[in-house]
Amino acid sequence: MAERVKGILQDLEKGHISVPKALGLLKDFPYEDMGFAKVDNHRSLRRGFPEVIFGEGKTPEQIIKIAKRIIAHDGILLATRVGQDVYRALKKQCPGVKYEPKARAIYFRRSAPPRKTGTVAVITAGTADLPVAEEARVTLELMGNDVEMLCDVGVAGLHRILDNKDVLEKAGVIIVIAGMEGALASVVSGLVSKPVIAVPTSVGYGASFGGLAALLAMMNSCSPGVSVVNIDNGFGAGYFASLINT
Amino acid sequence: MAERVKGILQDLEKGHISVPKALGLLKDFPYEDMGFAKVDNHRSLRRGFPEVIFGEGKTPEQIIKIAKRIIAHDGILLATRVGQDVYRALKKQCPGVKYEPKARAIYFRRSAPPRKTGTVAVITAGTADLPVAEEARVTLELMGNDVEMLCDVGVAGLHRILDNKDVLEKAGVIIVIAGMEGALASVVSGLVSKPVIAVPTSVGYGASFGGLAALLAMMNSCSPGVSVVNIDNGFGAGYFASLINT
Amino acid sequence: MAERVKGILQDLEKGHISVPKALGLLKDFPYEDMGFAKVDNHRSLRRGFPEVIFGEGKTPEQIIKIAKRIIAHDGILLATRVGQDVYRALKKQCPGVKYEPKARAIYFRRSAPPRKTGTVAVITAGTADLPVAEEARVTLELMGNDVEMLCDVGVAGLHRILDNKDVLEKAGVIIVIAGMEGALASVVSGLVSKPVIAVPTSVGYGASFGGLAALLAMMNSCSPGVSVVNIDNGFGAGYFASLINT
Amino acid sequence: MAERVKGILQDLEKGHISVPKALGLLKDFPYEDMGFAKVDNHRSLRRGFPEVIFGEGKTPEQIIKIAKRIIAHDGILLATRVGQDVYRALKKQCPGVKYEPKARAIYFRRSAPPRKTGTVAVITAGTADLPVAEEARVTLELMGNDVEMLCDVGVAGLHRILDNKDVLEKAGVIIVIAGMEGALASVVSGLVSKPVIAVPTSVGYGASFGGLAALLAMMNSCSPGVSVVNIDNGFGAGYFASLINT
Amino acid sequence: MAERVKGILQDLEKGHISVPKALGLLKDFPYEDMGFAKVDNHRSLRRGFPEVIFGEGKTPEQIIKIAKRIIAHDGILLATRVGQDVYRALKKQCPGVKYEPKARAIYFRRSAPPRKTGTVAVITAGTADLPVAEEARVTLELMGNDVEMLCDVGVAGLHRILDNKDVLEKAGVIIVIAGMEGALASVVSGLVSKPVIAVPTSVGYGASFGGLAALLAMMNSCSPGVSVVNIDNGFGAGYFASLINT
Amino acid sequence: MAERVKGILQDLEKGHISVPKALGLLKDFPYEDMGFAKVDNHRSLRRGFPEVIFGEGKTPEQIIKIAKRIIAHDGILLATRVGQDVYRALKKQCPGVKYEPKARAIYFRRSAPPRKTGTVAVITAGTADLPVAEEARVTLELMGNDVEMLCDVGVAGLHRILDNKDVLEKAGVIIVIAGMEGALASVVSGLVSKPVIAVPTSVGYGASFGGLAALLAMMNSCSPGVSVVNIDNGFGAGYFASLINT
Amino acid sequence: MAERVKGILQDLEKGHISVPKALGLLKDFPYEDMGFAKVDNHRSLRRGFPEVIFGEGKTPEQIIKIAKRIIAHDGILLATRVGQDVYRALKKQCPGVKYEPKARAIYFRRSAPPRKTGTVAVITAGTADLPVAEEARVTLELMGNDVEMLCDVGVAGLHRILDNKDVLEKAGVIIVIAGMEGALASVVSGLVSKPVIAVPTSVGYGASFGGLAALLAMMNSCSPGVSVVNIDNGFGAGYFASLINT
Amino acid sequence: MAERVKGILQDLEKGHISVPKALGLLKDFPYEDMGFAKVDNHRSLRRGFPEVIFGEGKTPEQIIKIAKRIIAHDGILLATRVGQDVYRALKKQCPGVKYEPKARAIYFRRSAPPRKTGTVAVITAGTADLPVAEEARVTLELMGNDVEMLCDVGVAGLHRILDNKDVLEKAGVIIVIAGMEGALASVVSGLVSKPVIAVPTSVGYGASFGGLAALLAMMNSCSPGVSVVNIDNGFGAGYFASLINT
């Protein structure tokens, strides 16, 4: 998009368009009104990554329409919490899009992202936390991060995480994904000096209250260096990790 | 209905009916007992709008029976949270009724409502808030208000709302509909001197707890001039807005 | 009631009734009515330990009156959550009672309890959990258990608990006391095969909600072998541990 | 597994393998990485029972893969909250596994467990609490405990539990399973000197809030000697009971 | 007050006053406007007992002013949650008023109430529940009921309540007052066929959450025949019991 | 067990045992053990009505088995929250049973119950509260009460309840059933001197949180004379009302 | 302030100041940086009323410093939740300020506000709700509204509000302030066609949970035309009412 | 401390001490047992910053004793939530310590920390959030970060934050501190591409529920790039920000 902005400005400089005209063209950039949605087109300029589609509560038609606009503008797409049917319908119109079924995410990147040098470790307490981890991984890779996954290393068998301390130490940023009592976040944070992004998950039953138990536990971590995102929010953790990964 | 009341009183004056008879007739007016429901027939006199049918928890038969009575009495109908099947069944008996599928609302108005001069702006933070917005819009239009919709202008891309400040300034009343963190209500209220009716929605996941996060946020708005209705209550917001729109 | 007991015993002495008869009569004497309280005198027979006075919400006069009866009957006293003033007043009348200020507990035991062979490890995550630990310790020692305290070994510095694995392994029962995120219970339970009694504490702030975060975390422990008592309930943990200590 | 460890050490002693080789072999033991899961193979050594599979949130393929590894290593399997379809699929590959439909648990034990001498009483307040009780029973029997079931003895008909006091008195440990107001735990604990493990269940409606009412009630038991596990956690109660049963 | 109404009507009959005058006088009766409070003077006619003053949040001056009006009109006064200072100040102006310090209630009755034939049993689980019980007792006696108190009979020592079954059976109505897990309500209700009014109290700590645990437990009683009033609401329980006592 | 009862009665008839002896023997027969359920057979003696089957969480087989025993013993049956399929299966074996589909209740009574003289008014705020009202009505009629239903008289149209004050005044006991904000309970209680049993319902959405809003509102009624049962608990309200109806 | 802006622009027009100078002066207007606070000086232009000081959590020194700035700029001051000591200290420096002790509010207005034609009715359910009502009244009067207070008209004595229907009907906007069950909002809204702003208060105890019960009730009002502000937020209700009063 | 470790190893190399001796010395390093606390001495090695003392729940004596050990070992001290009295007592023994009264924090650093190149922006929504901001600032400066404070820029006056976009853009990391509805976090995150660490505060009243409203809002931020720490946890935010600041 930066190219198109530059073009308008050059047109103005060369006298091909007037200032009011230029202003009008630039003002049209920020978002496009699609009736039901205003695609935030200059977010990639402002924030380094385009708008991400959160699929829940949107009709397949809405998702596809928004996705096509974002692809056209930015050449990058991430849509989370969408079913395989939406993917198939979109693929017919944008053949390059891919789908990660565990994460239920559609993604696309026209050109390779600039690579970051640090690695992000994505760690889960249990096997059932995998879909959230996959959502984080897809997000991270789309943003140019190397990812190291370490799954099922919950504190019930502490040696599993202790034996993998090298993974923790090599990483620049650590994402810890855990349901139930969410203790893994505190434990990992206590072992190393890396920032830990904790993701509570809704894995559990009874008094886990849909992830509330893990969320509160992570919020109250006795080990400094932990911050928390929403329950099951793999995307948010991946996005935040990419912002702080160098 | 006012006409029918007047008629009874004139009949009494002219001696066509006795006082006890008149009393009886008038007493029958307030509501009609249908066994399972007491239709509040004189609500339109008392409150300027007839009883509105909340469809959830009622059988299709009950909805249709109540709807027909309200139409017969008042010539206006609004039924929210009803499926298309109920609409089709009712349409056979009352051909004039209409259906707004996004809002899941049946509505009808025999004669055009008296027009209000002010406009009500209906603003949503995201695309997934649309069904609630549509419920508000249907309510507002049925009550004679001009509505301006502004969708998907959440605070993640602040320029979307800032670029539309003229919509806010032209409106006499503003309805802000938002899920997740519900920040849009405070932001809009801080920009203008119009009353803001905030509608938290159940859009979100995890720690949104079905709209509780947005509800609490709106309740605690740091900007005065905000009041709040129930989660997903587009009808209530529209009704309240119409009361204060001039 | 004392009179009636005396009468029965005299009847027995004089041979008017047999021993089994007397036993039956005495077993019927369950409690003494003091107007405001019914001291459960045969609880020590039934449950191996007399009634324990929970001081909160009782007047000093009530506590002292009940305490004297229990001492008279059973020769053992435990009163928790009582101030030093109550202790001083009681001491004047029962010189043998002792006070543990950290636990705010009055206790007394006329004769030494039968010793258990196993040790109970009482472990705290932080220094601020000490008062709860002391309440557990007093309870345990009064019931004849050897106690090993291990304080301030929370998961923020995991080596502190790992270096003390021998304490965990020597113990027959482990009490884990932790506020904030309460992760220590899961971690300890994962290390050894001993039953872990978890005590959430109200230590923390903000989203700890008075110990709720730790309680939920402990309830959801991913490591089996953990059961939980009420927030700050050092007495309950000690009592339960003594029941299962051999 | 102990056999295999011993073999490695003997190989070392006899000079068949070097120390680094031995170290490597032993280090591989603790868990096996299956990509999505790290099976905690030395848990049976460390904790006396292998890892238990919690079926919720895992795919049938994942459950079966993990189950086969655990069986191969430890000769014992317990998988809870799994459907009959998973059982049938697993049975084809491991013919010895059994299924308890009321508990929705798959279990297997190659050789008989060492028998405990004490009995564990499993008591339910109502008939609807049975599935949780069955989960506890399967767990207990797999761990070598004699179980006595006592069902539907809730406090609405107090004589039902009073008439069965001998069951309570014979038992070494008591599990009380109750939904609704969960009062049975306090009542049972007040009757005898045995440790009571309370399991709140989600049986109830309205203000039971999915078992929260029973959980809070059990946490606040006025009778000492009660500790609590998670809502519907029959497995956890059975496991804890087995740890303290002698 | 009935006397004064009758007087007005007789004055009208005898022609001493006109109909409009009578209407005006009668219309003034319902309540008196005191600026900050509208004393509901004809409540004693309508509901059999005058308005009761809830002292919390009112200034001493307000309480005294309202109390004097109610005494003047009805000859009966009940004011709950008021301190001894308010009582002393009021006593100077209305010497007949009495104070029950345990209940923190001021009360007064000019003439003896009509006696009810049934007895109301007021039962508490513990000694700390006494203030709530006293509030119920004062209310009941003021309304003409015989009260039998039975204190400290919680389920931790079940024989205490079983031994007093005659008190339960003699009573026409039973009030059960309990904090902590509130199990006593279910147990008492299961024993007899009398209606049980359950009062949760804020006695407890930690996960009792100010009485919430007992409230939820009582709401979910597995024994039919229990209904519940607000936490610590001894007055409400007494009032309700009096309504149903015959 | 029937055989044993028969034997005792025959012994009595033949003069082998005395009446007091027989009574004693019979009173010992508390319940029958059916493996999964202990039918509380002497509850009808103890509490005036047999055990009621709460259908949720029980299999059709269990319900039918228990139902047949209760019918055999007591000649009265009430089973709530059961589907029509269970009813049809039971009807084949017990042709006399009836089904109320709105309440989802099976009921049966061999002989007419002793009639009470007072009437119980069952009042609902809205049409969607009807199923709960029907559950109350079935319960009340089965227990010999005259019931007067008054539906859809919520406070949004206050005249609907004011015009029916005679129904309130004629009744001996009033059941008020309301969801949403539950205000009807306070309003009805303020109008008359009858005891009001309030039933919060799960009717509503958003911040009604499944009936919690109405429950809390009813608990906090500013009008004394209200007590509350569980959300949607029409049976409990009916049962309690019958206990206090004369 | 409008005068001062105009002055700067005229100075610019007349060439007394340069454009950059003018820009600088204008830019300084929006807010002044006081280190700890940024006084939002152009809020009165933007929103029709200057920033209001919420006293809680601010030191007296901070309040006084901010107050003086706002007075200097706008000639209007409202500071809520401040003690009499702050008032006295401020009065020494700004003699014109006034204090309303019931509302704990300091206020000041240099010139009379433009009068609105409509009246705002401020209605409380009980005497203890008065402080919140006074906060609303002070706010309303400062903003030029006529206020009619109607206190202690809760639904326990419905005639109190019914007899004052003329107050409701004369008002253009109605504020309903109620604690406990908060039913008054629905009742008032059902009687008239005016917008009702509901203010839940923390008046109550036990299950009122600091005003949560009233808040939820008002949110769930069965009568449309109600919107809600925060618990005890008299200022917010007054401010919102003034916005919609004509 | 690194120096001391090196010394021991050199002593070993030179043969001044034996291996067992060296082992013993090193093993003593990790933490020192002070009876009530285990100071985690090698945390500064492991995590780059020594243990921080959380003052709440600790006695002044305990705080001072721990503080002295940490100073002796690491030459750096941070103690939060401690009163001025503790500071004064500590200062007598460690004259170099300083106190920040707004943050209630004691701090000390023997040698200047290595400087980071990036700036951390600490932004508050209101003046009452200052104490939390000061706690973050003290933490950050002690860890070598440049801090830019921006206070009282809440969304009620959006221009305050928009006019300071340069502060946001210059910063490498942004801490947003807000109570009430916590909307500022989403707004700031939407404006720039920097990671935002959100700190909910307990500023507010009523439905803010001690900061819960802000916490939930921040958790549900519609703008990615936000992660959250505990309510009022200025230290945790500062610590996390320092970890990710470069």
pLDDT digits (tens, 9 = 90+) for C183-227: 999 999 999 889 999 999 999 999 999 999 999 999 999 999 999
Beta strands at A173-178 and A196-200: parallel, antiparallel or unpaired: parallel
pLDDT band at G34 (very low <50, low <70, confident <90, very high): low
Is B152 in the A-facing interface, judged by CB distances under 8 Å? yes
User: Which chains neighbour E (Cβ–Cβ under 8 Å, 3 or more pairs)?
Assistant: C, D, F, G
User: What's residue D209's pLDDT?
Assistant: 94
What part of A 119-138 touches B (C-beta under 8 Å)? none
Enumerate the residues of chain A whose CB falls inside 8 A of the CB of residue B126: 54, 57
Is B220 in the G-facing interface, judged by CB distances under 8 Å? yes
pLDDT band at A24 (very low <50, low <70, confident <90, very high): low
pLDDT band at A127 (very low <50, low <70, confident <90, very high): very high
Binary contact (C127, H37; C-beta < 8 A): yes
Residue A200's H or E segment, with its range, is: strand A196-200
Q: Angle at Cα B173 formed by Cα B170 and Cα B176, nearest 5°?
A: 105
Binary contact (F183, G217; C-beta < 8 A): yes
A152 closest CB neighbour out of D38, D212, D233:
D38
Binary contact (C157, H38; C-beta < 8 A): yes
Binary contact (G128, E57; C-beta < 8 A): yes
The count of other CB atoms within 10 Å of the CB of residue G114 is: 8
Residue G8 in this model has a pLDDT that exceeds 60: no
pLDDT band at F146 (very low <50, low <70, confident <90, very high): very high
User: Which strand ranges, in their side-by-side order, compose the sheet holding E53-54?
Assistant: E53-54, E76-80, E105-109, E98-100
Enumerate the residues of chain E whose CB falls inside 8 A of the CB of residue D160: none
Enumerate the residues of chain C whose CB falls inside 8 A of the CB of residue D239: 224-225
| Low pLDDT (below 70) residues in chain H | 1-15, 17-35, 39, 41-42, 44-46
**Three-state secondary-structure class, residue H162:** helix
Rounded Cα distance between G108 and G138, Å, is: 10
Residue of C nearest to D52 (CA): C224
Sign of the Cα torsion A58, A61, A62, A68 reads positive
User: What's residue H183's pLDDT?
Assistant: 95
Is B9 in the G-facing interface, judged by CB distances under 8 Å? no
User: What's residue G28's pLDDT?
Assistant: 43
Q: Are A9 and A21 in contact (CB under 8 A)?
A: no
What does the pLDDT average to over A181-203? 95
Bridge partner list, D200: D178
Is E50 in the G-facing interface, judged by CB distances under 8 Å? no
Binary contact (H228, A226; C-beta < 8 A): no
Enumerate the residues of chain G whose CB falls inside 8 A of the CB of residue H206: 200, 202, 210-211, 215, 230-233
Spell H137-165 as b/e; 16+ CB within 10 A means b: bbbbbbbebbbbbbbbbbbbbbbbbeebe
Residue of F nearest to B228 (CA): F207
User: What's residue B97's pLDDT?
Assistant: 96
User: What's residue F120's pLDDT?
Assistant: 98
C-alpha separations of A67 from B73, B151, B178, D52 in Å: 49, 17, 22, 43
User: What's residue E2's pLDDT?
Assistant: 41
What does the pLDDT average to over B178-194? 94
Rounded Cα distance between G110 and G221, Å, is: 40
Rounded Cα distance between B43 and B69, Å, is: 13
Is H16 in the C-facing interface, judged by CB distances under 8 Å? no
Written as one string, the DSSP assignment of C53-79 is EE-TTS-HHHHHHHHHHHHHHHSEEEE
Rounded Cα distance between A91 and A89, Å, is: 6
Is F203 in the B-facing interface, judged by CB distances under 8 Å? yes
Residue E9 in this model has a pLDDT that exceeds 80: no
User: What's residue A19's pLDDT?
Assistant: 57
Binary contact (E181, D217; C-beta < 8 A): yes
User: Which chains neighbour H (Cβ–Cβ under 8 Å, 3 or more pairs)?
Assistant: A, B, C, G
DSSP helix, strand, coil percent of chain B (3-state; round to 5)? 45, 20, 35
User: What's residue C25's pLDDT?
Assistant: 56
Is A215 in the B-facing interface, judged by CB distances under 8 Å? yes
pLDDT band at G20 (very low <50, low <70, confident <90, very high): low
Rounded Cα distance between D34 and D64, Å, is: 12
Enumerate the residues of chain C whose CB falls inside 8 A of the CB of residue A157: 190
Enumerate the residues of chain H whose CB falls inside 8 A of the CB of residue C130: 36
User: What's residue H11's pLDDT?
Assistant: 65
Full set of structural domains in chain D with CATH: 31-109 (3.30.110), 119-244 (3.40.50.1970)
**What mean pLDDT value characterizes chain B?**
87
Residue E209 DSSP label? G
E151 closest CB neighbour out of C38, C43, C232:
C38
User: Which chains neighbour G (Cβ–Cβ under 8 Å, 3 or more pairs)?
Assistant: B, E, F, H
**What mean pLDDT value characterizes chain A?**
87
Q: Are B159 and B153 in contact (CB under 8 A)?
A: no
Task: Write the ipTM.
Answer: 0.85
Bridge partner list, F177: F124, F199
A157 closest CB neighbour out of D40, D54, D231:
D40
Residue B218's H or E segment, with its range, is: helix B212-219
Binary contact (A227, H229; C-beta < 8 A): yes
Residue E146 in this model has a pLDDT that exceeds 90: yes
The answer to whether the pTM exceeds 0.90 is no
Is F102 in the B-facing interface, judged by CB distances under 8 Å? no
Point out the least confidently predicted range of C20-24, F69-73, G27-31.
G27-31
C244 closest CB neighbour out of D46, D195, D231:
D195
Residue C7's H or E segment, with its range, is: helix C2-13
Most confident of B7-11, B42-46, D94-98, E158-162: D94-98
Is F172 in the G-facing interface, judged by CB distances under 8 Å? no
Chains A and H touch (3+ CB pairs under 8 A): yes
Burial class (CB in 10 A: 0-12, 13-18, 19+), H120: buried
Q: How many CA atoms lie within 13 A of F193 on its CB side?
A: 13
User: What's residue D89's pLDDT?
Assistant: 95
Residue A61 Cα, gap to closest chain D Cα (Å): 30
Contacts of D137 (CB under 8 A, 6+ apart): D103, D122, D147, D149, D234, D238
**Three-state secondary-structure class, residue E8:** helix
Residue B22 in this model has a pLDDT that exceeds 70: no
Residue A64 in this model has a pLDDT that exceeds 70: yes
Phi/psi at E78 (5° precision) = -140, 125
| Low pLDDT (below 70) residues in chain D | 1-15, 17-35, 39, 41-42, 44-46
Kindly report, residue by residue over F10-34, the tens digit of the pLDDT. Answer: 565 566 766 556 555 544 444 566 6
Point out the least confidently predicted range of A89-93, D41-45, E215-219, F136-140.
D41-45
Q: Are H171 and H120 in contact (CB under 8 A)?
A: yes
F40 closest CB neighbour out of D151, D160, D205:
D160
Structure tokens of G68?
A: 């003086």
Residue of B nearest to H190 (CA): B156
- Where on the phi/psi map is residue H10: left (φ > 0), alpha (ψ -120 to 50), or beta? alpha
Binary contact (A190, C220; C-beta < 8 A): no
Kindly report, residue by residue over C136-145, the tens digit of the pLDDT. Answer: 999 999 999 9
Rounded Cα distance between H143 and H134, Å, is: 14
**What mean pLDDT value characterizes chain E?**
87
Question: Which of the pair, C14 or B186, is modelled with greater confidence?
Answer: B186
User: What's residue C2's pLDDT?
Assistant: 39
Enumerate the residues of chain F whose CB falls inside 8 A of the CB of residue D206: 200, 202, 210-211, 215, 230-233
Residue E1 in this model has a pLDDT that exceeds 50: no
Binary contact (E223, D155; C-beta < 8 A): yes
E179 closest CA partner among C57, B122, D172: C57
Written as one string, the DSSP assignment of G199-236 is EE-S---GGGGGGHHHHHHHHT-SSSSEEE--TT-HHH
Enumerate the residues of chain A whose CB falls inside 8 A of the CB of residue D212: 207
Residue B156 DSSP label? G
- Range list of β-strands (E), chain H: 31-33, 38-40, 53-54, 76-80, 98-100, 105-109, 119-124, 146-150, 173-178, 196-200, 226-228
Chains H and G touch (3+ CB pairs under 8 A): yes
Binary contact (G127, E62; C-beta < 8 A): yes
Residue E26 in this model has a pLDDT that exceeds 80: no
Enumerate the residues of chain A whose CB falls inside 8 A of the CB of residue D210: 206
H31 closest CB neighbour out of C130, C160, C203:
C160
D177 closest CA partner among D155, D206, D200: D200
Kindly report, residue by residue over F159-180, the tens digit of the pLDDT. Answer: 888 888 889 989 999 999 999 9
Residue B158 Cα, gap to closest chain H Cα (Å): 7
What does the pLDDT average to over E171-187? 96
Binary contact (E182, D181; C-beta < 8 A): yes
Binary contact (D231, A152; C-beta < 8 A): no
Residue B79 in this model has a pLDDT that exceeds 50: yes
What does the pLDDT average to over C30-42? 65
Structure tokens of C159?
A: 């080596």
Rounded Cα distance between B161 and B155, Å, is: 8
> What end-to-end distance do the CA atoms of chain A give, in Å?
24
Kindly report, residue by residue over G173-212, the tens digit of the pLDDT. Answer: 999 999 999 999 999 999 988 999 999 999 999 999 999 9
pLDDT band at B96 (very low <50, low <70, confident <90, very high): very high
Binary contact (C220, A208; C-beta < 8 A): yes
Binary contact (E54, G128; C-beta < 8 A): yes
Phi/psi at D38 (5° precision) = -110, 100
Binary contact (G213, F214; C-beta < 8 A): no
User: Which chains neighbour D (Cβ–Cβ under 8 Å, 3 or more pairs)?
Assistant: A, C, E, F
What does the pLDDT average to over C239-246? 95
Contacts of B23 (CB under 8 A, 6+ apart): none
Most confident of A222-226, E16-20, H48-52: A222-226
Contacts of F225 (CB under 8 A, 6+ apart): E47, E239, E240, E243, F189, F193, F194, F195, F196
What does the pLDDT average to over E140-164? 92
Structure tokens of C126?
A: 């932080």
Rounded Cα distance between A221 and D147, Å, is: 40
Enumerate the residues of chain H whose CB falls inside 8 A of the CB of residue B214: 217, 220
Rounded Cα distance between A43 and G197, Å, is: 39
**Three-state secondary-structure class, residue E108:** strand
User: What's residue F3's pLDDT?
Assistant: 47
Question: Which of the pair, G148 or C33, is modelled with greater confidence?
Answer: G148
User: What's residue D2's pLDDT?
Assistant: 41
Q: Are F143 and F239 in contact (CB under 8 A)?
A: yes
Residue E231 in this model has a pLDDT that exceeds 90: yes
User: What's residue F55's pLDDT?
Assistant: 93
